[in-house]
Chain A
Amino acid sequence: MTKTWIFESKPAILSAGISGGPFEKESPFAKHFDFFSDDLYNEEKSFEKAQRSLIEKSITNSLEKGQVTESEVDALLMGDLINQLTPSGFAARQFDIPYLGLFSACATSMQGLALSAALIDGGYCEKVLTGASSHNAAVEKQFRYPTEYGGQKPPTAQWTVTGAGVVLVGKSTDPLAQAYIEKATIGRVRDINVSDPFNMGAAMSLAAADVIERHFIHSGDTVDDYDFIVTGDLAEIGHSITKDILSERGVSIPDEKFLDCGKMIYGNRPEVLAGASGPACSALMIYGYFLDELKAGNMKRILSVATGALLSPLSFQQKETIPCIAHAVAITSHKGGVV
């Protein structure tokens, strides 16, 4: 039987490095991020290089704020959406830290956090850096049309976040501990039979609902144990469908508790259509805003559910439906366990 991973030692998030692009600078949550590039190129020659530079910036900031040097970090777990994870791999080239590349599409942030907590709880590592990144124009180029192409996007389309969110994870006894990782439920790949790459939220809804339901079954927790259940980038349509599927399966989450980073990050800007997406979406919001709230004690415990669509430009042209994944990680402000 599958089960929830319970981290007895409660590994802690020690510091975060969050970078974004010019559009993210206008986010209502911008004060929780610490670096913004002036344009999509960030003084580099291509979008992919710009993404790499944002990752480097976030890693550097995270190391600095965590008061550690590269040699003290045992592992770097990173991922993004670009072919062969080149932005992550190329950024890792700059650091003397053992590196593992991760891919769960936009669910990479929570895959990384769950694995980091497991590595620390299992005694394999003392300190781990993990994060995820995306770049709006680099993703458009790979998955859709050239950035300047004048195609009309449907209202279900989402806006890929530009940025990188990285956290340093360590032992709960560390004096810099900001929030603690309690448990994680690893998702199963689910397919709800959506093949439209401009309707990713709907495609991901079943995977999200599945992992949330399983988290409650396997961990024994109830909705009441959490202040918020935060999904990654389901956006308007996907978030509503997820709620429907959950209530059909007997898990009812009140609206005010059920949030989505993709709906939140840009406020109400019409040009983002249904909402935001991309691995950086959950990384920026969870490691930026929600971590700050947990640290400040405004929230006691959240369930962070990052969601990813496992498609490629080839797979949707070959008319395949979009299989999706979601990973859930419970993060708490409280070291002691019972809140």
Chain B
Amino acid sequence: MSQQKEPLFQAETSRHDKKRPLVKNCIKAFVVGGIICTIGQLVTVLLIIYFPFTEQTAGNPTVSIMVFLSMLLTGFGLYNKLGQFAGAGSAVPVTGFGNAVVSAAIEHRSEGLVLGVGGNIFKLAGSVIVYGVVSAFFLALIKTLLIQWGVL
């Protein structure tokens, strides 16, 4: 048996490699992410002016509305096109989380509502939830300890 892996060619493959256009991607992500957040801010302001919400309570309904909008865009097949253009700009805001949930739900509809949609809806978003909760726990633990010790 001859040596099957030929690491010698690693240099060879990287020569033709197409790098992600980092600066361009960052600018696009900044602009699109900024626009999404501005829309979110607008929703918050409208909620405070026209509905009985305060600056403290307007957060949750804003998130719901933004996720709803991202759901519509995903359903109409537009969010993946936005994602290819904006990258992190459309993935990091809460609309990206909505897209991850809804796209998985649509994709697995063919396997039924229970095993398909139910079983796969958090296929992508699940790890965000798991590590979000875990890191929140550890942060809270650190804060509690620091308060106990009188540091904070």
Could you tell me the distance between the alpha carbons of A161 and B4 in the complex, rounded to whole angstroms? 30
Contact between A237 and B16, CB atoms less than 8 A apart: yes
Stretch at the interface among A21-29, A238-246, A290-298: A238-246
- Which of B44-52, B98-106, B133-141 faces chain A? B98-106
- Please tell me if A145 contacts chain B, counting CB pairs below 8 Å: yes
Q: What distance in Å separates the Cβ of A61 from its nearest Cβ neighbour in chain B?
A: 27
- List chain B residues, Cβ under 8 A from A245: 9, 12
A169 in contact (CB, < 8 A): no
B16 touches A149 (CB 8 A): no
Q: Inside 8 A of B33's CB, which chain A residues have their CB?
A: none
Q: Which residues of chain B (1-39) have a CB below 8 Å from chain A?
A: 4-7, 9-10, 12-13, 15-21, 25
* CB interface residues, B 60-102, toward A, < 8 Å: 74-75, 77, 79-84, 86-88, 90-91, 96, 99-100, 102
| B9 in contact with A192 (CB, 8 Å) | yes
Q: How far is the CB of A71 from chain B (nearest CB, A)?
A: 34
A141/B18 in contact, CB under 8 A: no
Distance, CA A151 to CA B9, complexed state (A): 29
| Assembly CA distance A149 to B102 (angstroms) | 8
Interface contact A148-B9, CB-CB below 8 Å: no
Please give, as numbers and ranges, the residues of chain B lying within 8 Å of A150 by CB-CB distance: 74, 79-84, 90-91, 96, 99, 103
Output the least CB separation between A337 and chain B (Å). 34
Most central of A148, A190, A194, A206 by chain B CB within 10 Å: A148
CB-CB < 8 A to A126: which residues of B?
none
Interface segment, A86-94, A152-160, A281-289, A300-308? A152-160
Give Cα distance in the complex from A155 to B17, angstroms: 9
B80: min CB distance to chain A, Å:
5
Q: How far is the CB of A264 from chain B (nearest CB, A)?
A: 18
Q: Report B-chain residues with C-beta under 8 Å of the C-beta of A319.
A: none
* Residues of chain A from 30 to 69 with CB closer than 8 A to chain B in the complex: 45-48
Which residues in A have their C-beta under 8 angstroms from that of B90?
A: 150
A191 close to chain B: CB less than 8 A: yes
Contacts of A191 in B (CB 8 A): 4-6
- Pair A148/B6 contact, Cβ less than 8 Å: no
Residues of chain A within 8 A of B81, CB atoms compared: 150
CB < 8 Å neighbour of A146 from B7, B19, B107: B107
Cβ–Cβ < 8 Å partners of A189 in chain B: 4
A78, CB-defined interface residue at 8 Å = no
* Contact in complex: B110, A45 (CB < 8 Å): yes
Q: What residues of chain A lie closer than 8 Å to B110, measured between beta carbons?
A: 45-48
Instruction: List the B residue with the shortest CB-CB distance to A189.
Output: B4
User: In the complex, what residue of chain B is closest to A210 when comparing beta carbons?
Assistant: B6
Counted as pairs of residues, one from A and one from B, with CB atoms less than 8 Å apart, the total is: 115
B129 within 8 A of A: no
Q: Return the contact of B124 from the options A141, A149, A190 (Cβ within 8 A).
A: A149
Closest Cβ–Cβ distance, residue A65 to chain B (whole Å): 33
Q: Which residues of A contact B102 (CB under 8 A)?
A: 148
Cross-chain contact B96 with A156 (CB below 8 angstroms)? no
Query: Contacting B18 at CB < 8 Å: which of A48, A146, A151, A156?
Result: A156
Chain A residue at smallest Cβ distance from B83: A150
Chain B residues with Cβ under 8 A from A111's Cβ?
Answer: none
- A241-B13, A245-B9 known; A152 and B18 CB under 8 Å? no
Most chain A CB within 10 A, of B74, B83, B87, B106, is at B83
Contacts of A193 in B (CB 8 A): 5-7, 9-10, 13
B84 and A237 form a contact (CB under 8 A): no
Q: In the bound complex, do residue A148 and residue B74 qualify as a contact, i.e. CB atoms below 8 Å apart?
A: yes
Residue with the greatest number of chain A CB neighbours at <10 A, chosen from B5, B10, B21, B88: B5
B80 and A149: CB pair below 8 A?
yes
Residue of A nearest to B123 (CB): A146
| B16 with A202: CB separation less than 8 A | yes
> Looking at B16, B74, B81, B96, which has the most chain A CB atoms within 10 Å of its CB?
B16
Whether A237 lies near B5 (C-beta < 8 A) is no
Question: What are 5 sample pairs from A and B whose C-beta atoms fall under 8 A apart?
Answer: A151-B91, A154-B18, A156-B17, A191-B5, A199-B17
11 extra A-B contacts, CB within 8 A, seeds A152-B83, A155-B19, A271-B84: A145-B103, A147-B103, A150-B74, A150-B81, A150-B99, A152-B25, A152-B91, A153-B84, A156-B17, A202-B17, A245-B12
